Structure formats: structure tokens, C-alpha cells
Amino acid sequence: MNKGQSITKAEGDVSRAEQTRDRQVYSPHVDIIEQEDGLLLLADMPGVSARDIDIQYEDGQLTILGKAEPRQDDSKTSYLLREYGVGDFYRSFRLGDGIDVDSIRAELKDGVMTLHLPKADALKPRKITVQSK
């Protein structure tokens, strides 16, 4: 994001595009799953390549930006029907400070980005052994 730009997100309305630059910005569909050792985030980002995804995590705030390139050159294309909108994807989440930042990893396959957010060791459940005397 460039300094001075703001994106407001309509919660639950992923079909609404927002104009912030010379292209539209969409909120991708996201599933967040809590697992014993961390969080798993799945985000639909069709048309985005791995090199065009920027993920930032700072002070408990997770920000995802994916840039999708147009499939056609509009100046050279005569559409009979055009329903597919191309634009960037942007989502931001407040996750708290319990993430092991050094172990975050992400992968992209078939237009779905999977982000692994491991819990910090201090937040992982521990089994405490009871000793008998």
C-alpha cells in the first residue's frame, strides 16, 4: 500500500470492488482455522502469482495484498460479455501478539493461498505431569 491510501472494507461483501488506484481492490474469501499449534489461513486469490503477494505481520496485525494482472489487454480486446473483474486483493486482520513471527510461512496453489501462523511457544498448550509422592 502506498502511504496515504486507505481501503475500507465492507464486511461480508466480497463482490464489491473498491477503487483506490487505477485498479479495483477486492476482499478475498478467507477461512481461518485454529489448530493446536497455530492458525491456518486460506485465502482465495485467483489470478495472483506467488511473487505478487505481499504479507506483513506487525504488532498482531496481519495484512495481505495480492496483485492480479489483467488477463487481456483491454485496448486490444472486444468483449461480447465481460463478468470477471480483475483487481488486487486486500485483507487485514487483528490476530494478537501470540504468533511466532519467525516461523510464518505461506504457499500458493490453484489460486488459494495457505498461510501458516504458528503460535508462540508460550501460548501452546502444555501437558503437566503430576508426580506422586
pLDDT tens-digit series, residues 14-35? 444 444 456 789 999 999 999 9
Q: What are phi and psi of 37, to 5 degrees?
A: -100, 0
In whole angstroms, what is the distance from residue 84 CA to residue 51 CA?
A: 22
pLDDT < 70 positions in the chain: 1-22, 123-125
Are 62 and 55 in contact by the 8 Å Cβ rule? The answer is yes
Are 27 and 7 in contact by the 8 Å Cβ rule? The answer is no
What pLDDT score does 124 carry?
Answer: 65
Cell, residue 19: 477503487
Beta bridge partners of 37: none
In whole angstroms, what is the distance from residue 63 CA to residue 35 CA?
A: 20
**What predicted TM-score, i.e. pTM, was given to this entire model?**
0.71
What pLDDT score does 96 carry?
Answer: 77
In whole angstroms, what is the distance from residue 79 CA to residue 57 CA?
A: 40
Region 21-71+82-122: CATH code: 2.60.40.790
